Structure 1
Amino acid sequence: MEQEAWDTLTLPWKVKLPKKAAIAEGCLEIRETGFLGREGIYEVMPFTESLFRFADDKADLPELLRLTYKEGMLSLRLSGAQKVAAGLTTVTEVLRVTPDMQN
């Protein structure tokens, strides 16, 4: 895996490149995708006491996101990066199905 692709996936966080990652090599049975089946990635917000106090109809969304990440929430891309590091999917696939973190 290339450092640039990994950095794109984990932006804006600095996450160390895994020692190895899966490379999608397919066959006709799996339509040349390299993987059989589906693997979910999730962005789950833990609703902690500090988030409960912060969240109301006047909450600033960027600040709320910063607080949720501080409280332990993983973005969709970081959740996907964990699956890449575990060999369950590829960087290309995670980038395809997740929104750009710069927008």
Structure 2
Amino acid sequence: MDKRRIVFLEAICQQYLALLRKLTNTVLAEVTASTELSDRQRRDVIDKIKALTGAESVELKTDNDPDLIGGVIIKVGSQVFDASLRGQLRRIGISLTGAS
């Protein structure tokens, strides 16, 4: 019998994964890079995230954005670490316009 509950399935799965990550001390990190990350870069990013968050393990979700020019943007929960060239140029522009 179809009670049209299928629309709730994605939210239920997301909540389940969030609870599982909390139980296993795992964080989800969304990494956006200008190019595909190499295996070594992935390991380095995971090590940095572990050091910053104290998590035992890290689940990486990666995406590519050539507009970043270079570097990465890492989102962990509500925190955003912008180490991209685009972000650095934007911060320089803001500081220059604020100084005048």
The reply to whether TM is greater than 0.5 is no
Larger radius of gyration: 2
Indicate the structure with greater helix content. Answer: 2
Task: Give me the TM-score of the superposition, normalised by structure 1.
Answer: 0.24
Indicate the structure with greater strand content. Answer: 2
Task: Give me the TM-score of the superposition, normalised by structure 2.
Answer: 0.25
Which one has more relative contact order, counting CA pairs under 8 Å at least 6 apart? Answer: 1
